[in-house]
Amino acid sequence: MTTTVQRAWYQEPMVWMIIAIPATSVVVGITMLTISVKHYDGLVTDDYYKEGLGINESIQRGQKAKELGIEASIDFNQSGNLVSLSIQGGSSFSLPRELTLHLRHSTRSGYDQTWILPLALDNRYSGELPELVAGKWYVELESSDWKITGQITFPFAQQVLKLGAIVDVN
């Protein structure tokens, strides 16, 4: 006759394996929740409907820049924390009194920067360049009736960015 020794439940390995599966899920879930709350990415744009309605205006402003033959050269001077730009265009183009320069991070809207740059006496526009995080940045340069765009990666592989009018109708 064989006798089986009855062990307590907490001494059985299968019980611990069954408990480990949901316990691991709870720990991973709490970890992911903590990470998502600490590192909130935010929305790149918070009003998609309004952005969709404004796409025609954006295309028209790009076409206007192309008609005027607008080209810009933006100098990112990291050591002096300055950004300066020069702009030229066709015969019907005149320099605006001020330009708006947008630097938009490709994934984190909280890092976006916007400057209103006045026209200086040397026909250049300039402003302070704050600390930028590494990554891909979209550059938009606009006045009241035209807009040109480009992109650059920080830390900058090139210190001078050339922008031209590109009309994207896709």
Domain boundaries, the chain: 9-38, 48-164
For residue 119, give the DSSP letter. Answer: B
Which superfamily is assigned to 48-164 in CATH?
Immunoglobulins (2.60.40.10)
Number of helices (H) and strands (E) in the chain: give both, helices first.
Answer: 3, 8
Q: Closest Cα to residue 133, out of 114, 108, 158?
A: 108
Q: Closest Cα to residue 138, out of 146, 149, 147, 128?
A: 149
Cα 170 from Cα 162, distance rounded (Å): 23
pLDDT tens, residue by residue, 10-27: 999 999 999 999 999 999
pLDDT tens, residue by residue, 23-49: 999 999 999 999 988 887 666 566 777
Higher pLDDT, 31 or 53: 31
Alpha-carbon dihedral sign for residues 68, 129, 135, 36? negative
